[in-house]
């Protein structure tokens, strides 16, 4: 099983890295890295999980972790889901005041 890099602790703040399981905590890990990670960390994500797995988690288990701009960047450029009209931004974008 692949190890989670130590530099992801700041993104995966709600759990200790050694207590995370890549399969059981897949949704949490994917959304946290997509929402808060840098390009190096997102690249790690794609080395650990397949593109299909990442897209499936993103589209079927939305989390309100994203800023509006981060959501658009991930959806349109990283995952290339620009034409997918079924993805409702309200399910992903956290409220900002």
pLDDT at 48: 96
User: Tell me, what's the pLDDT at 2?
Assistant: 78
Q: What average pLDDT does range 47-75 have in this prediction?
A: 96
Q: Tokens 């993805």, residue?
A: 87
Residue 97's pLDDT is what?
61
Cβ atoms of residues 27 and 21 within 8 Å: no
State residue 82's pLDDT score.
Answer: 84
Q: For the chain, which residues make up each domain, given as ranges? A: 7-91
Model confidence over 70-82: pLDDT tens digits? 999 999 999 999 8
Could you tell me what percent of the chain has a pLDDT over 90? 84
């Amino acid at each position: 099983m692949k190890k989670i890099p130590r530099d992801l602790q700041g993104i995966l703040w709600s759990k200790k890295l050694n207590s995370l399981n890549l399969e059981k905590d897949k949704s949490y890990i994917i959304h946290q890295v997509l929402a808060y990670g840098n390009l190096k960390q997102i690249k790690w994500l794609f080395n650990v999980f397949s593109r299909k797995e990442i897209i499936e988690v993103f589209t079927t288990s939305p989390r309100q972790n994203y800023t509006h701009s981060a959501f658009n960047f991930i959806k349109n450029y990283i995952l290339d889901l620009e034409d997918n009209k079924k993805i409702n931004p309200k399910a992903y974008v956290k409220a900002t005041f």
